[in-house]
Amino acid sequence: MSHAHRFTGKVVIVTGAAQGIGQGVAQRVAAEGGSVLAVDRSDLVKDTVAEITAAGGKAAAFEADLETFAGAQAMVAECLKLYKRVDVLINNVGGTIWAKPFEHYEEAQIEAEVRRSLFPTLWCCRAVLPAMLKKKKGVIVNVSSIATRGVNRVPYAAAKGGVNALTASLAMEHTQNGIRINATAPGGTEAPPRKIPRNAAKQTRQEKVWYQAIVDQTKASSLMHRYGTLDEQIAPILFFASDESSYITGTVLPVGGGDLG
């Protein structure tokens, strides 16, 4: 199925673009004619941009820590400097750091999970709004998770529940200003090993058991009883980012093989 021109003439920020879903989204947006600002806190994001430009696409890399408002503001400023506007923001930063029952989380770990999986989306939405409001036009796609109902990652679930609430509330505030805000909620996704692990510490035997419980529950909760592919997660994100979804806003779409999260 070809969507060759969905992003022609559009300026699209993709966060978390160094690997995984974010990298795939950035590559596809560029292949469909968009000008991409690929953002990550890792300099590996430059590799994503090199691949895009080698394929004839238009992209630039920007390194920022999006767990801070300053990082989000710098990202938007860079996009306005390079491309003069922002048409689409795709918020893809987040991910479980630890996997264990809630009573085993330490205070600092709970805060770290929320900083990782709620604040980048919160800050980036806040940072991009002034530019979109000025043009009375814009699209935001947040990447949430079906893990809002799941085991062994309560702080992450709470953060992603926050992303869902943010999506609905922001849409209510700003649809009349020409801005659409939606989210996809990916289920378990088969991806290549991460170039930078979310948690560098070696798993203990108990931690492996706790993590396996997540895998088992994810597959059991999916009507298809399997993980999805990267392409299966990327496609609905691109749909929400494009004008094809022009009559949809304030919606969280579960992409989990029938698991509604």
Distances (CA, A) of 90 to 21, 50, 107, 139, 184: 11, 20, 30, 8, 11
For residue 231, which amino acid is it? D
Q: How many CB atoms lie within 10 A of CB 213?
A: 16
Q: How many CB atoms lie within 10 A of CB 212?
A: 12
Half-sphere exposure at residue 164, Cβ-oriented, CA atoms within 13 angstroms: 20
Q: Is 106 exposed, middle or buried (0-12, 13-18, 19+ CB in 10 A)?
A: exposed
What is the helix, strand, coil percentage profile of the chain, to 5? 50, 15, 35
Cα separation, 152 vs 14, in Å, equals 29
Active site residue 211: no
Give the helix/strand (H/E) hosting 158: helix 154-174
Half-sphere exposure at residue 206, Cβ-oriented, CA atoms within 13 angstroms: 5
CB 36 within 8 Å of CB 60: yes
Q: Which of 156, 211, 227, 247 is catalytic?
A: 156
Q: How many CB atoms lie within 10 A of CB 165?
A: 13
Question: Which residues form the catalytic set?
Answer: 156
